[in-house]
Amino acid sequence: MTGPAPRVSVAIPLYNEEVGIHQLLARVCAVLDSLPGGPHELVLVDDGSTDHTIALLEAASREEDRLVILKLSRNFGHQAALSAALDHVTGDVTMVLDGDLQDPPELIPQFLQLYAEGNDVVYAQRLNRKESWVLRAVYFCFYRAFDRLSSTHVPLDAGDFGLISRRVVDLIRRMPERHRYIRGMRSWLGFRQAALPVDRPPRYAGTTKYTWRRLLNLAFDGIFAFSIVPIRTTLVFGVVAVSLSVVFGLYALYAKMFMGGDPRGFTALTLLIIFLSGVNLFFLGIIGEYVGRVYEQSKGRPIYVIDRIVRNQMDLSRDQTSAIEDTRSPQPAEAE
């Protein structure tokens, strides 16, 4: 791919990251200063932080006019905050980073090199993680289970950290689902994609905001958004259960007619009833996950709500924000 150097947007969702804000901005802005082309931008989304994250961002915006700051009205979650950032980037390419500096901004030039070779998506493939062995094992198992369950191939050990071209950003913005799994949506779109092997450093400061509950919710969003294997499993299990009951019925009939009595097994029968009841409830829960997502989608609520936007040292009102959205996106995600 030849031509002028692309304008780069860096999209970063933040939640209670006051400890590392100054280091994050310093490192990202230093990389943007070294890139040709421009003007580049840094879109930061405060996902309802309860510390001083938004105050520090607004103070930084008075000295750095490349910052675009979105403050959400409450905590909507990492994927919703990332969607908000993607809805407001304007560059030719967008780099997606986490705010904990586990996604090194110094690798941005390497992503741009692979983009220049004709790739619309360049994702970071993590070689080493610095989390506990339990968490590493969970991640390892999840990515491989997800790849088996999903009809869309999502690269193994690849998170949201990566580069996406303008047309991929525009297509992601048009995808209407409420329960978002950005890395899966990115893979589903196709186009030419490349991996960049990355050693993932430890978190710069603070503690992770992804609790086990949040990780489980993200895993569910990914599985139920890109696979119908769980619901098909209910059909398979039902067929197996009916087949076994037919076999047992034939055996009972044979015992009655040729063995002079009914087969005994009250305890086994009781355990079987309890087991099948538990399985029924389990699969009802799986079906409920799909139905619940359809219900949430049918309400048509926005993915996130913006409190205010600070752009180029200006605090934009809701009316101004709406006007900007109307000129940029056919499907604005911001609530009035």
Whole-model pTM?
0.70
d(CA 14, CA 21) in angstroms, rounded, equals 9
d(CA 321, CA 336) in angstroms, rounded, equals 10
What dihedral do alpha carbons 282, 77, 92, 116 form, nearest 10°? -60
- How is the chain split into domains, by residue range? 8-210+302-328, 229-298
Identity of residue 162: G
**What pLDDT was estimated at residue 326?**
37
Partners of 10 in beta bridges:
42, 95
Q: Which residues of 88-114 are buried (b: 16+ CB within 10 A; e: fewer)?
A: bbebbbbbbbbbbbbbbbebbebbbeb
Written out in words, the top-level CATH class of the domain with range 8-210+302-328 is: alpha beta
**What pLDDT was estimated at residue 293?**
75
DSSP result, 269-280 = HHHHHHHHHHHH
Walk along the chain (336 residues) and give the pLDDT tens digit of each residue.
Answer: 566 789 999 999 998 888 888 888 999 999 998 898 878 999 999 988 888 888 889 888 888 888 999 999 998 888 889 999 999 999 899 999 988 888 888 999 999 999 988 899 998 887 776 666 666 676 667 767 766 777 777 777 677 888 999 999 999 998 888 888 888 888 888 888 888 888 877 665 656 656 666 667 666 666 766 666 777 777 777 777 777 777 777 777 777 777 766 666 656 676 677 777 777 777 777 777 777 777 777 777 788 899 888 876 555 544 434 333 433 344 444 443
Helix H, strand E, coil C: the string for 171-183 is HHHHCCCCCCCHH
Cβ pair 176, 331 in contact under 8 A = yes
**What pLDDT was estimated at residue 48?**
87
**What pLDDT was estimated at residue 72?**
92
Element (H, E) at 258: helix 229-258
